[in-house]
Amino acid sequence: MAAREKSPEGGASFGGDMGGVKKRRGTLDDPKRDFERRKRLFGEAPMPSVVAAPRPAQKALFPWEGPLRTTQRAARLLCLAALATLALPSIARAQRPNRHADAKAAASAPTAREAQAPGHADAATVDTSRPDTARHPLPGEGLLTLRPARLSPGGIFEFDIALSGAQSPTLRLGKSTFRAFRVADGLFRGYGAVRVTTPPGQSPVTIEWQSAGQRHKAGVQVAIAPKKFPQRRLTVARQFTSPSPEQKARGRADKKAFAEAYSAAFEPPLFTQNFQNPVSDSARVTSVFGVRRVFNGKTKSRHMGLDLDGDTGTPIFAAADGVVRMRRGCFYAGNAVILSHGADLFTAYFHLSEFAVEEGERVRRGQLIGKMGMTGRVTGPHLHMEAKAGETSFDPASLLAFDFFPEGPSPSLAKVQSAAPTAHVAAQDDASDKATSGPTAPASTPAPPSAITASDRRDHTP
Chain segment 230-271, per-residue pLDDT in tens: 877 766 666 566 778 898 899 999 999 999 999 989 999 999
Q: CA of 328: how far to CAs of 332, 334, 385, in Å?
A: 11, 8, 15
Q: Work out the pLDDT band at 377, boundaries 50, 70, 90.
A: confident
Task: Look at 256-260, 285-289, 319-323, 458-462 and tell me which has the smallest mean pLDDT.
Answer: 458-462
Instruction: Evaluate the omega torsion of the peptide bond into residue 54 and state whether it is cis, within 30 degrees of 0.
Output: no
Q: What is the pLDDT of residue 107?
A: 40
Q: What is the pLDDT of residue 393?
A: 96
- State the Cα torsion 157-382-341-408 to the nearest 10°: -60
Q: How far apart are CA 97 and CA 247, in angstroms?
A: 67
Q: Work out the pLDDT band at 113, boundaries 50, 70, 90.
A: very low
Q: What is the pLDDT of residue 296?
A: 64
Question: What percentage of the chain reaches a pLDDT higher than 90?
Answer: 46
Number of helices (H), then strands (E), belonging to the chain: the values are 8, 24
Count the alpha carbons within 13 Å of 81 in the hemisphere toward its beta carbon: 6
Helices (H), 316-445: 396-401, 411-418, 425-437
Domain map (residue ranges) of the chain: 118-224, 231-457
Q: Work out the pLDDT band at 118, boundaries 50, 70, 90.
A: very low
Q: How far apart are CA 60 and CA 55, in angstroms?
A: 14
Contact 138, 218 (CB under 8 A): yes
Nearest partner of 274 among 5, 7, 462, 456, judged by Cα: 456
166-189 pLDDT per residue, tens = 898 999 999 999 999 999 999 999
pLDDT of 297 strictly over 70: no
Across the range 129-152, mean pLDDT stands at 87
Q: In this structure, what are the phi and psi dihedrals at residue 275, rounded to the nearest 5 degrees?
A: -75, 145
SS (H, E, C) 114-152: HHHCCCCCCCCEECCCCCCCEEEEECCCEEEEEECCCEC
For strand 392-394 and strand 306-309, is the pairing parallel, antiparallel, or unpaired? unpaired
Q: CA of 154: how far to CAs of 198, 200, 291, 394, 428, in Å?
A: 9, 12, 11, 4, 32
Which amino acid is present at 259? A
Task: Look at 267-276, 280-289, 309-318, 358-367 and tell me which has the smallest mean pLDDT.
Answer: 280-289
Among the CATH numbers 2.30.42.10, 2.60.40.1930, 2.60.260.20, 3.40.109.10, which is that of 118-224? 2.60.40.1930
Q: Work out the pLDDT band at 53, boundaries 50, 70, 90.
A: low
Round the average pLDDT of the chain to a whole number and report it: 75
Q: How far apart are CA 380 and CA 198, in angstroms?
A: 32
Q: Work out the pLDDT band at 77, boundaries 50, 70, 90.
A: confident
Q: What pairs with residue 217 in β-bridges? A: 208
Helices (H), 369-424: 396-401, 411-418
pLDDT of 285 strictly over 80: yes
> Could you say which DSSP state residue 48 is in?
P
Q: CA of 75: how far to CAs of 24, 78, 259, 444, in Å?
A: 67, 5, 75, 101
Q: What is the pLDDT of residue 439?
A: 33
Beta-carbon contacts of residue 159 (< 8 Å; ≥ 6 apart): 144, 145, 146, 147, 171, 178, 180, 189, 190, 191, 192
Which amino acid is present at 164? S
CATH topology of domain 231-457: Glucose Permease (Domain IIA) (2.70.70)
Contact 295, 241 (CB under 8 A): yes
399-410 pLDDT per residue, tens = 999 999 987 654
